[in-house]
Amino acid sequence: MNEQNEIQPSDGISMSMGEKLINIITAPTVVFEHIREKVTWQDYIIPLLIAVAFVGISSIVSAPYTLELTKKAIKAQSSRVVNQDMSEEQRQSIENRFQEQIDKQEERYSPPKVYYWSFLRALGGIGLSLMVLAGIYYFSGNTILAGQTAFPKVLALVTLPQMVKVIESVYNMVFVSMTNSIEVPSSLAVFLPYGMTDVFSLERYQQAMFTLLSQIDIFTVWRMVLFTIGFSIIYKVSKGKAAAVVFGWWTFWMVITTAGSFLFAGLAG
Q: pLDDT digit of tens for each residue in the chain (269 aa)?
A: 333 333 344 455 678 999 999 999 999 999 999 999 999 999 999 999 999 999 999 999 988 888 887 887 777 777 766 666 677 777 777 778 888 888 888 888 888 888 888 999 999 999 999 999 999 999 999 999 988 999 999 999 999 999 999 999 999 999 988 888 777 888 898 888 776 655 555 677 777 888 899 999 999 999 999 999 999 999 999 999 999 999 999 999 999 998 887 777 555 54
CA angle 26/28/34 to nearest 5° reads 130
* 202 domain-assigned: yes
* 172 domain-assigned: yes
CA 242 to CA 249: how far, in whole Å? 11
The residue segments making up the domain with residue 68 are 17-268
* 50 domain-assigned: yes
Number of domains observed in the structure of the chain: 1
Evaluate whether 184 touches 220 at the Cβ level (below 8 Å).
Answer: no
SS3 70: helix
Evaluate whether 147 touches 141 at the Cβ level (below 8 Å).
Answer: yes
* 2 domain-assigned: no
Count of other CB atoms within 10 angstroms of residue 165:
21
Task: State the amino acid at position 33 in one-letter form.
Answer: E
* 183 domain-assigned: yes
Q: How many CA atoms lie within 13 A of 100 on its CB side?
A: 6
Q: Where are the alpha helices (DSSP H) in the chain?
A: 17-26, 28-37, 42-81, 88-108, 113-139, 151-159, 163-179, 204-214, 218-235, 239-268
* 9 domain-assigned: no
Query: Comparing C-alpha atoms, which of 37, 48, 40, 45 is closest to residue 16?
Result: 40
* 3 domain-assigned: no
Evaluate whether 70 touches 105 at the Cβ level (below 8 Å).
Answer: yes
φ and ψ at residue 181, rounded to 5 degrees: -145, 145
* 11 domain-assigned: no
